[in-house]
Amino acid sequence: MRGPLPDYPWDAMAPFAARAAEHPGGAINLSVGSPVDPTPARVRAALVDASDAHAYPATAGDRELRAAIAEWYLRRRGATVDPEAVLPTIGSKELVALLPFLLGLGPEETVVFPTVAYPSYAMGAALAGARAVACDDPHEWPEGTKLAWVNSPSNPDGRVLDVDALRAAVARARELGAVLVSDECYAELGWEAPWDTERIPSVLDPRVVGDDHSGVLSAYSLSKQSNLAGYRAAFIAGDRELIDRLLTVRKHAGLMQAAPVQAAMIAALRDEEHVAEQRERYRARREILLPALLAAGYRIDGSEAGLYLWATRGADAWESVAEFAERGIVVGPGPFYGDGSTEHVRLALTASDADIAEVAARLRAAPASA
């Protein structure tokens, strides 16, 4: 039997959320990146049209869905992917948390992930009983590493790995005999040069791996680009042998994407207009929130892409969390994202235009007494 799991970290936010709720204008929650904008009408229509889903869906995904994913990789990521080397998943968090188990990792093996990272990478190692190691430099990834995660653009700090950095990660993973998985869920949301005009590279980009996908996987979610968080619509692609293994295990476990959701994913993947519209919504919110944070004495680190602003004023993160709560603003504490994040907080752009404007106004008002 595995050892005890850690407490759910967000439970520690309860008193700060309660304090924020006491603000005369009410609480505004920027701590969780849950989309607030409408799901595109054509995606919802596709879901409804496919709702007579009386038969079990294919775990591998409908042929049309696999083709749409492959087409999307070529069109949006510049990568050629075999439609038989893709696999839909029930959201990306499920994939991240279960992947070490699905790959058969155990106590003798190591999972590596970034030092500032989404906590589900470490949780996935814990669920499989594997060793979890936070390390950013591929050259320092330890022997015994069997799964290495990179995250670009990163949650929470919005940093992007360029082609050279991804190439180095692939080379080291292959040297160790490890599977390398790149979590690329925010790839459509580049803000600062060069990513405001250039495509954020995928690990499957031929400039990174050539035409050899062995040992390499790319993970993506439609939650952010298409406002489909409630649909649990994501996928993974790359090494055909690894995809076949994951497919087999998922068949045994009954992990299959619902047929109406598959139809919705096809509609979302083949429509770029709604993605561009959503990107502009987030860009506009970022352009309001970022200068307000600077005016309030915060520095923004990274944050060149993605859905968040990674802010610090050089104080303990929990002091900043309390300061924001005094203003009726709930933010994410840096310590939730690793031991090296003790002075940062994360603010999501996933709030309405009115709420973002109100946050900016509160930040520009007289300093709060935390």
Nearest to 331 by CA among 309, 314, 298: 309
Strands ordered across the beta sheet of 332-333:
299-301, 308-312, 344-348, 332-333
The CATH architecture assigned to 9-38+274-364 reads: Alpha-Beta Complex (3.90)
Q: Where are the domains of the chain?
A: 9-38+274-364, 41-271
Q: Whole-angstrom Cα distance, residue 23 to residue 229?
A: 29
The tokens for 30 are 């920027």
**173, 167 Cβ separation under 8 angstroms:** no
Q: Which CATH number fits domain 41-271: 3.30.930.10, 3.40.640.10, 3.40.50.720, 3.30.365.10?
A: 3.40.640.10
For residues 89-121, one letter each, b for 16 or more C-beta atoms within 10 angstroms of the residue's C-beta and e for the rest, the string is bbbbbebbbbbbbbbebeeebbbbbbebbbbbb
Query: Does 41-271 match 9-38+274-364 at the fold level?
Result: no
304-356 pLDDT, tens digit per residue, is 999 999 999 999 999 999 999 999 999 999 999 998 899 999 999 999 999 99
Q: What is the pTM of this model?
A: 0.93
165-215 pLDDT, tens digit per residue, is 999 999 999 999 999 999 999 999 999 999 999 999 999 999 999 999 999
Average pLDDT by consecutive 10-residue portion of the chain (370 residues)? 59 90 95 94 96 93 97 97 97 94 94 95 94 96 97 96 98 98 97 96 98 97 96 97 96 94 98 97 98 96 97 96 96 92 96 97 74
